[in-house]
Amino acid sequence: MEKKTVLFICSFNSVRSQIAEGLLNARCKNRYTAFSAGVAPAGPNPYAIAVMKEVGIDISTQKSKKLSQFAGTRFNYVITMCDRAKLAVTGSIPNGEIKIHRGFVSPSEIRENNAEILADFRTLRDDIDSWLTEIFPDCPARSEGSKEDKK
């Protein structure tokens, strides 16, 4: 079976799209190859890396990429993950057989303490994880795993 390709896009390619890329690649690596990009890449966020590590997924080697790096590339799915990116990239989004939008709010780092910031990032991670289950029902939920995907 040929793997399908997925491009996740958000403004800075530092949190939402990085988390989605890591989750889908970990959950469904035999069915999908996920990539991520941003309008103005800012580098992976350390909090995103930390909350993904908590669930056994290492995204520390993922890089922020400019959307323009994927110009001319055709994807099976092109998914915008924030309203700002959807508006900013209209007309410059790479070709996709299926285009999906879901505006996730980026967690705030302007909080009273580190525990509150981490809680916001955990909530976002879990929301994205649940949403991926809806979009890709052929992929097991993160907690379920899959014999096929662990090969």
- Chain centre distance of CA 104: 11
Q: In terms of residues, how long is the chain?
A: 151
Q: How confident is the model over 129-139, as pLDDT tens digits?
A: 999 999 999 88
Q: Cα separation of 17 and 15, whole Å?
A: 6
pLDDT above 50 for 70: yes
pLDDT of res. 48? 96
Tell me how far apart the alpha carbons of residues 125 and 15 are, in angstroms, rounded to a whole number: 9
pLDDT exceeds cutoff 70 at 145 = no
- Structure confidence at residue 26 as a pLDDT band (50, 70, 90): very high
pLDDT at 143 over 70: no
Residue from 34, 39, 52 nearest 13 by CA: 39
Question: Which residues span the domain enclosing 89?
Answer: 4-150
Residue in 57, 56, 31, 27 with CA at minimum distance from that of residue 150: 27
Q: What is the pLDDT of residues 79-109, one digit of tens each?
A: 999 877 776 655 666 678 898 999 998 887 7
Reply yes or no on whether the pLDDT at 149 is more than 50: no
Among 5, 131, 115, 113, CA closest to 37? 5
Inter-axis angle of helices 114-135 and 46-54, nearest 10: 70
Domain at 52, CATH number: 3.40.50.2300
The overall pTM is greater than 0.85: yes
Q: How many structural domains does the chain have? A: 1
* Spatial distance between the Cα atoms of 119 and 121, rounded to a whole number of angstroms: 5
